[in-house]
Structure 1
Amino acid sequence: MSARHDPQRRRDRPAERDEERRAFREEAESLVRITAAPTIWSGHFLLCYCAVAIACAKAGAVPGWLTGGLLAASVAALAAIGWVGWRAFRQWNVTDTGDFSNPEGEAEDRHEFLGHAAFLLAIISFIGVVYVTMPLLLVEGCR
């Protein structure tokens, strides 16, 4: 009997498709998670530097309300990056498995690797937001 007319093969297809869709959805979420923290960092960077540049160009000084608003935006960015990092750490699953490397290269290993990469990017992004925020606290004037 050919594979084309095999009724058993036809019944297995929906289950296979559901499994493939679930795996694809998890990987798509992982790819979004891996880009989330750097995107938050870059948005925060643009917001802070553009707002201060416009304020310095127009008024010659940064008003206190702008500094306060940018500090609030910094806290929000740090909280968002912390949340993304926590989710990525849970996806990495290193505390449950104890495995820092997985040489087999199975689908679950790739999923955990994406969590590991997203976690490391969240750490770098967190540090980046802190460094972007430091001039708001330490530099008083525009020059």
Structure 2
Amino acid sequence: MSISLFAEIRPSRVLLAVLTGMAGLALASVSLVIWQSGMAVAVKALLWVAAACLIVLQLYRAWCKETRFCKLSIADSGSMILHEPAGAIHHAGLTVSLSPKSRLLPQLLSIFLIDEQGREHKLLILPDSVNPVVFRALKVSLMWISQHYVK
């Protein structure tokens, strides 16, 4: 069996839904606290709008941070190359290695890659981020690499 693979990783819609749900719960909690206070209605409304804006801003920042189109190439030898989009700092592929902090769960791959300069690149891959066949192959390849190369 070969572990070589080329995966195009897209932003996850499931992650966006989860982040939106968490933002909704946070806004509902803030709403309960604000409306139970003894302040004037205008002040309550102003606080609620400010809280809603902050929560939406945090949702947007989290989504932008986690969503990157990238490509990951894995060779038979276990070497990996991370290709980031042309608008990013690195136009060419980066040679990276798998960090021990990476977690390979059945429905979630939380991958920490370290490049040659020691910088860390984080990838959060859910099953809807790649083709289902590629997701399974990527998980198997990363498990093999973690058992043979990660200390």
What TM-score does the superposition give when structure 1 sets the normalisation length?
0.35
What TM-score does the superposition give when structure 2 sets the normalisation length?
0.33
Between 1 and 2, higher relative CO (CA 8 Å, sep ≥ 6) is seen in 1
Which protein has the bigger helix share?
1
- Which structure: larger Rg? 1
